[in-house]
């Protein structure tokens, strides 16, 4: 596995592979993108309070690509990841007022993977357009299981949605789910990955946490409150709980997929809390 990398590296690999028949044992690719998590919000970078044991273990076994830039807001970084180009070149300058709509004529990461014989899927946050031709199903994803807008409960999303038992859109239809949002997305990703298929796959697990609102089980936040952190910091850290990531990586290992799966973990635009916020 390779993790903690750059969108430029991955896009270069895909362009090289595009329009070629799938070679035997072509690697699967799992991209895990978190929302508003920065360098300071990881235990292995020296955060004295945050507990991220599964990400720490992944980092120890991985190549860390630290010399690359992310945009300051959500949609621009996601546009760069999906296209391998600067976000301004593909029409994305911000997250609101029509400035988050990906240009329709720009080739995308999943389209390149499809051309190379992969099946493709997105789970979680898209934030590059909710209407044709900007939806993920219009831009190369075979399977689409997402919330709308920039976060669960925002204006384009299901009315009254929150992080617990959210309604998630699956090809234009709302599906009621059970559980915390990250578990819902991770479970859906694994169910799709685990489908019998001769094709290699690209799975884009785009988690919406720890982006506000700070909705999390009080019991998970309590361990950080017990460390003396203020409530907002405690809830923010509790939303970075990496249990689902660890379980997903364990399932890949148990299924014998880990040796032939590239795993890329990254945050989108840095942290709103740098560990010193009160």
Neighbours of 94 (CB within 10 A): 15
Is there a catalytic annotation at residue 112? no
Backbone angles phi, psi at 36, to 5 degrees: 75, 30
Q: Which of 140, 150, 154 is nearest to 94 (CA)?
A: 150
Q: What tokens appear for 222 in the block?
A: 């309590």
- State the Cα–Cα distance between residues 266 and 95, nearest whole angstrom: 19
Q: Which of 86, 94, 127, 167 is catalytic?
A: 127
Q: Which residues pair with 164 in a beta bridge?
A: 180
Among the listed residues 219, 243, 221, 223, the one whose alpha carbon sits nearest the alpha carbon of residue 232? 221
Distance CA 169, CA 182 (A): 15
E strand segments, 20-152: 28-34, 119-125, 143-147
- The answer to whether 74 is a known catalytic residue is yes
Buried/exposed 50-66: b ≥16 CB within 10 Å, e otherwise: bbbebbeebbeebeebe
Tally the residues of the chain. Answer: 278
- With 0-12 / 13-18 / 19 or more C-beta atoms within 10 angstroms meaning exposed / middle / buried, residue 236 is buried
**Burial of 128 (C-beta count, 10 Å sphere; 0-12/13-18/19+):** buried
The catalytic site residues sit at 74, 127
């Amino acid at each position: 596995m390779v993790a903690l990398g750059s969108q430029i590296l991955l896009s270069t690999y895909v362009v090289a592979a595009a329009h070629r028949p799938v070679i035997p044992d072509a690697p699967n690719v799992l991209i895990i993108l978190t929302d508003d998590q920065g360098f300071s919000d990881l235990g292995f970078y020296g955060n004295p309070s945050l507990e991220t044991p599964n990400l720490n273990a992944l980092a120890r076994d991985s190549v860390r690509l630290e010399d690359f830039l992310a945009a300051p807001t959500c949609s621009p970084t996601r546009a760069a990841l999906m296209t391998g180009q600067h976000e301004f070149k593909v029409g994305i300058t911000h997250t609101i007022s029509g400035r988050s709509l990906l240009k329709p004529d720009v080739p995308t990461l999943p389209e390149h993977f499809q051309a190379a014989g992969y099946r493709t899927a997105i789970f979680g946050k898209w934030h590059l357009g909710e209407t044709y031709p900007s939806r993920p199903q219009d831009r190369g994803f075979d399977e689409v299981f997402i919330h709308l807008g920039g976060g669960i409960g925002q204006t384009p999303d299901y009315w009254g949605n929150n992080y617990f038992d959210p309604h998630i859109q699956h090809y234009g239809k709302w599906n009621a789910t059970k559980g915390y949002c990250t578990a819902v997305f991770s479970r859906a990703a694994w169910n799709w990955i685990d489908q019998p298929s001769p094709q290699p796959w690209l799975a884009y697990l785009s988690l919406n946490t720890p982006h506000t609102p700070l909705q999390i089980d009080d019991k998970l936040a309590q361990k950080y409150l017990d460390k003396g952190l203020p409530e907002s910091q405690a809830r923010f850290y509790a939303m970075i709980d990496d249990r689902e990531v660890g379980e997903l990586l364990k399932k890949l290992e148990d299924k014998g997929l880990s040796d032939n799966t590239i795993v890329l973990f990254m945050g989108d635009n840095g942290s709103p809390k740098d560990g010193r916020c009160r």
